Chains A and B, each alone.
Chain A
Amino acid sequence: AQKVTQAQTEISVVEKEDVTLDCVYETRDTTYYLFWYKQPPSGELVFLIRRNSFDEQNEISGRYSWNFQKSTSSFNFTITASQVVDSAVYFCALSRWYNQGGKLIFGQGTELSVKP
């Protein structure tokens, strides 16, 4: 069975602090995809990144960076110099490799609050 665990339910930081959101996953598949989505108060889930299981290179996009470690089944997300606009619920998700792209297994989400 597939499972995604986001142990941090809520995180509160002050603006400009760095913050890391943890994600641990379980799967028996050797090939799979991992995702991060952001859900602002408006409700829409915003796609942030997709990583396939072959690619363990860390990725950086502006203030966002992702650390994928297959050995520990983790896919952590770091926001550098956080801003108030980063306040949202962040979801980590997992999908199978082939023809299961529409079916994501989501973690419970981490609510990030960035205070000015």
Chain B
Amino acid sequence: KAGVTQTPRYLIKTRGQQVTLSCSPISGHRSVSWYQQTPGQGLQFLFEYFSETQRNKGNFPGRFSGRQFSNSRSEMNVSTLELGDSALYLCASSERGNSPLHFGNGTRLTVT
């Protein structure tokens, strides 16, 4: 089985722009979660989608949003980018609630 695929791997954006990151889960996995990883804050949970519905949400501002499609693929959007949004964004999928998460390689976003 193919693993979790995230595109693009690297992104450079300017402050104030918006960005969309994509995640394709492992085939058969219905849950997709997003995490932000920074040197200062570590790994922080953004949100989780299951069957196209947001099931959990972390403590991030409304500029961070996501969605899940009927084929379980997910996108994450960040609007009005700030320098502090520079991070590695990791997507993870699982078969169902409480199954172990399988992570992708991440998208490294740099905001200048």
- Judge whether A45 and B97 touch: CB under 8 Å: no
Would you give the shortest CB distance from B88 to chain A, in whole angstroms? 6
| Cβ-based interface call for B16 (8 A) | no
Assess A44 versus B104: contact at CB under 8 Å? Given A102-B50, A106-B42. Answer: yes
Q: How large is the interface on B (under 10, 10 to 19, 20 to 34, 35 or more residues)?
A: 20 to 34
Which of A15-23, A64-72, A93-101 is the contact stretch?
A93-101
Would you give the shortest CB distance from A66 to chain B, in whole angstroms? 14
| Cβ-based interface call for B70 (8 A) | no
Q: Report the bound CA distance from A44 to B42 in whole Å.
A: 14
Q: Which residues of A contact B (CB under 8 A)?
A: 33, 35, 37, 42-47, 50, 91, 93, 95, 97-109
Q: Closest 8 CB pairs between A and B?
A: A102-B48, A102-B33, A101-B98, A45-B103, A106-B43, A101-B97, A103-B56, A43-B106
Assess A103 versus B104: contact at CB under 8 Å? Given A33-B98, A43-B88, A45-B90. Answer: no
- Judge whether B94 and A102 touch: CB under 8 Å: yes
Q: Report the bound CA distance from A104 to B47 in whole Å.
A: 11
- Judge whether A47 and B101 touch: CB under 8 Å: yes
Residue in contact with A101 in the complex, picked from B43, B96, B103, CB distance below 8 Å: B96
Residue in contact with B92 in the complex, picked from A45, A99, A105, A109, CB distance below 8 Å: A45
Residues of B with C-beta under 8 A to A93: 43
Q: Report the bound CA distance from A103 to B99 in whole Å.
A: 11
Residue in contact with B56 in the complex, picked from A102, A107, A109, CB distance below 8 Å: A102
- Judge whether B106 and A44 touch: CB under 8 Å: yes
Q: Which residues of B contact A (CB under 8 A)?
A: 3, 31-33, 35, 42-45, 48, 50, 55-56, 58, 88, 90, 92, 94, 96-106, 108
Assess A50 versus B97: contact at CB under 8 Å? Given A99-B55, A102-B31, A109-B42. Answer: no
Q: Report the bound CA distance from A37 to B14 in whole Å.
A: 32
Given A45-B92, A47-B101, A102-B45, 18 other A-B residues pairs in contact with their CB atoms under 8 A: A43-B105, A43-B108, A44-B104, A44-B105, A45-B101, A46-B103, A99-B55, A101-B94, A101-B99, A101-B101, A102-B48, A102-B56, A102-B101, A103-B56, A104-B35, A104-B43, A106-B43, A106-B44
